Structure 1
């Protein structure tokens, strides 16, 4: 772990599994598509660890080998249509996140979102939660030609804040988040409350900090 810095200039976050618990709405979209195709439903304990992988990971989970004989693009469209129409039924902030974001606002530390979620879905979801009015930058999975684990989205976000990457902290719950942040030369933090099947695997991700709770991030940066 790195020595505690005096101060960072901004904090960037992944979205699904880091700021917002979106798993139940994503799982509902998966189960809707499965029902349309007479396939068995997937229980929450199975789809939650896969939620960060988006439509592709969830459809692969639900359809398994049957996916090869079906029209994947059509299934994806069905999934995204249902999800878009029911995007915030069960989604909520993780415990402690609202307090973390409020504290960042109080200390005038800008924060933003860098997610692999398509930007159109991201921009539809965020207004449901008033705290995102203070979000300084939002980068979606299709905002650029590259997406995480490529560092380009993080580098773009820091440039939009007129900051050097080294002045930013990046928080995420997946290996691709930490890979992108490390490649971008940001300080990286694992959100261990997110969609991580086995928390022990985080030890090998080479993050600068493993956070069990959002309050750990606040204690680290202030």
Structure 2
């Protein structure tokens, strides 16, 4: 993607990229653990796993005990608590609000492509007024495929009336970069997200490693 190109758009992952949702997800995990008299998980342990959603967090909290329990029941307990408390501690990462505002001011379309279930995504976004400018929202179950498959990104670019090559995709997980590369988009690693070791992301073959949201704006404009 070239700079100063009016025919361009930006797609973002959600958890760990635009919004820091880890504390609310961790609270849901610890609620379920408490119901089963299991040891609570501290933030330093659940934050790097937050992008992996209910499955990753339940595996972290329950470990081997998960094989002896009803996983679907635990998942429903997790999702119920999370839905009821979805925006209690969640906030934009520092620098994201100015980035989205700048995209709006420059009339650069943007959207969200996440593996978070679409019903939870649609419940979460209205708590943050900037998302009223979001041009497209694709959840993990919006299509038959989810990231790292490129289909959700290709669908999102189509909804923005842009070719994939005209889009940047920003995410904090390897699956994000794999999906973006497969879709032939320009890929950007959000190093501020849920990455336990930021050195690892140098091997992900992204086009840009962004240390802060302002790096993305500098890259585009």
* 2:190 is the alignment partner of 1:191: yes
1:211 equivalent in structure 2:
210
1:32 equivalent in structure 2:
31
1:71 equivalent in structure 2:
70
* Deviation sequence 1:67-101 (CA, Å, 0-9, x none): 00000000000000000000000000000000000
1:41 equivalent in structure 2:
40
1:108 equivalent in structure 2:
107
Deviation at 1:30, TM superposition (A): 0.1
Secondary structure of residue in 1 paired with 2:187: strand
Deviating 4+ runs (over 3 angstroms): 3-6
1:53 equivalent in structure 2:
52
* 2:12 is the alignment partner of 1:13: yes
Supply the distance in 1 between the matched residues of 2:59 and 2:202 (Cα, whole angstroms).
27
1:162 equivalent in structure 2:
161
What is the number of residues matched between the two proteins? Answer: 220
Deviation at 1:16, TM superposition (A): 0.1
Secondary structure of residue in 2 paired with 1:190: strand
* Residue segments in structure 2 that go unaligned for 5+ positions in a row: none
Deviation at 1:17, TM superposition (A): 0.1
Supply the distance in 1 between the matched residues of 2:46 and 2:209 (Cα, whole angstroms).
23
* Residue segments in structure 1 that go unaligned for 5+ positions in a row: none
Deviation at 1:162, TM superposition (A): 1.1
Supply the distance in 2 between the matched residues of 1:156 and 1:87 (Cα, whole angstroms).
26
